[in-house]
Amino acid sequence: MTVILAQLFSEARSEEIDKICYLSLGRLGPKFTAVEFNLAEKMMIRVLAKAYKKGEEQVKREFKKIGDFGDVAYKLKIKNEKLKNEIQNSKLSVNDVYKRLYDIAAESGEGSVERKIEKLSKLISALDSLSAKYIIRIPLNKLRLGFSDMTILDALSWMIAGDKSKRAEIEGSYNIRADVGQIAKKLKITNYKLKIEIKNSKLRIKKLIDTLRLLKPQIGTPIIPALCQRLPTAEKMIEKMGKVAVEPKYDGQRLQIHFSKKKTAIFTRNLDNVTQMFPDIVEVLAKEVKGKSVILDGEVIGIDPKTGRFLPFQETIKRKRKYQIKEMVKEIPLKVFCFDILYKNGQDLLKKPFSKRRKILEKILSSSNAIIVISPQIVTDDPQVILDYHDEQIKKGLEGAVLKKWQSPYDPGKRGYTWVKFKQEKGKKGGGLADTLDCVVMGYYRGKGRRAIFGIGAFLVGIRKNEKFLTISKIGTGLSDEQWRELKLKIKNEKLKIKEKPKEYIVDKNLTPDVWTAPGLVVEIEADNITKSPIHTAQYALRFPRLVCFRNDKSPDQASNLKEVEKLYKLQ
């Protein structure tokens, strides 16, 4: 699959390679641009009826039989072509299709739905059967070709080097500018220029990677957040990291704030642009941030307006919404705890040691009574001080502490030993699972007895291994009635229920669920410990697993991976 994609990138022109990247992922831009079509499935019946001059009832019957609008479009187009005794090829280019799709998504205001249906039906009718099959799935967010941004980075490496050997270097640039189309275009243009100048392929590839390394942070394009590693004890942490800054670990939502006079943007760890959801944060940025342009890394947490105490994650996450935003601003006021600064007034700060970044942050933010404040910290190399600080945070209702190597750079997208989380359960002295896992819901089993009313009695969860998902637990206990209902509702609302097992799932036949779900829903799971398993495809299983919460702020590619599970198994 990677090789085919690399061949496509090699043949593509520089002015279309970014669009090919986006369309291949079923999008019209990088994830953070959130260009949406807002076309429901029932509208597709009208689109196909118009495109192929069929009755809406006929299209509806075909859809009920087949269950996929892409396959319906293919079947109807093939029938039309056979009637004409010819198989057509599309005359449209990638740029033509992209522009027309973008125009459809951009339609708004009165009568916009009718204009979208008209434009999409014209586009579909102009496409050959195979093209129509895939293009019709894009507005429905159901393209699912089976690869992610990471597959595209692999293919870009293959395009320039003939293998995946340059993936890490390309990913390093992507971590600083999380726009796979922009990275692909930069590579394509630079590679073309260097081919003319340099005949030696090894030297050319080296120069190409060196050019990519010059990419700096950009206001409005998110940086992939740094991640925490795990170590078993405070002593091990000091042994591995030396002098550390110790900060509270908040049970909130990670936010990256981009601010300048021209542009303001707020992103989640999942690269969702949530600027419109936090008008209270946007409003105070100019007052509370002393700088022309900055990129801040922090955590937002809800505050109980009556008691002033921190709210749990499930309450804070209610602020992430599209509607009734003004009402929620009053109901759940926020406090943003900034713990890092990545960019200031045109200067890239990623490679500066944390000690220096902290001093810059202290000059940028100073008011302790503001909405946006600096996260408190202590600096130490004493394990006992770390333990005491951790216990203090637990008493405050927080999750524990985060340790940061005092002289380390900021590592975008990396789970190295520059950041380590100390998230031990209160009273747990040793053994057991040292942290929770973020798992993907892969399917569910229909309820029996009392749970029949929910239509769900257990669910199957998995972890990542590269582009695949491996099972690690079947969870049937530890959920409240409300959580069972919420789980079923989320699967329904996010349209994750599918007929066949996704090709990226590896599941033992004895664990086949009654209903498969597409990768989309991430849940945080705690357990007593991890054991070896002959039936789960991860080769590990969770003992006494319990649902902590639904991680609406995380996507499947941010779920825990096999290496993390292996590490936790050894730590216990």
Cross-strand pairs, 469:
464, 505
DSSP state of 214: T
Q: How many CB atoms are located within 10 Å of the residue 430 CB?
A: 9
User: Minimal CA–CA distance to 90: which of 135, 138, 37?
Assistant: 135
Q: Report residue 493 as tokens.
A: 């609302």
CA gap 331, 303 in Å, rounded: 9
H helices present in 346-456, as ranges? 354-364, 383-395
Residue 378 carries which side chain, given as an amino acid letter? Answer: I
Task: Return the structure tokens found at 235.
Answer: 């002593």
The pair of structure tokens assigned to 543 is: 């003992």
Residue of 59, 65, 61, 58 lying closest to 45 (CA atoms): 59
Is 249 known to be catalytic? yes
**Structural contact between residues 538 and 562, judged by C-beta atoms closer than 8 angstroms:** yes
Neighbouring CB atoms inside 10 A of 189's CB total 14
What's the number of CA atoms in the CB half-sphere (13 Å) around residue 557? 14
99-104 contact pairs (CB < 8 A, 24+): 101/23, 101/28, 101/135, 101/138, 101/139, 102/28, 102/35, 104/37, 104/139
Q: Which two tokens stand for residue 214?
A: 């010059």
Q: How far apart are CA 532 and CA 413, in angstroms?
A: 29
The SS3 assignment for 470 reads strand
Interatomic CA distance for residues 439 and 436, integer angstroms: 10
Cβ-Cβ contacts under 8 Å for 450 (sequence gap 6 or more): none
- What is the biggest distance separating any 2 CA atoms in the chain, rounded to whole angstroms? 81
Partners of 267 in beta bridges: 256, 273
The residue annotated as part of the active site, out of 31, 77, 249, 352, is 249
In this structure, is the dihedral angle defined by the CA atoms of residues 437, 441, 445 and 449, taken in order, positive or negative? Answer: positive
- 497 contacts 123 by C-beta, under 8 angstroms: no
A 10 A CB-CB count for 553 gives: 20
Distances (CA, A) of 277 to 267, 288, 324, 339: 10, 19, 10, 21
Q: Which residues are catalytic?
A: 249
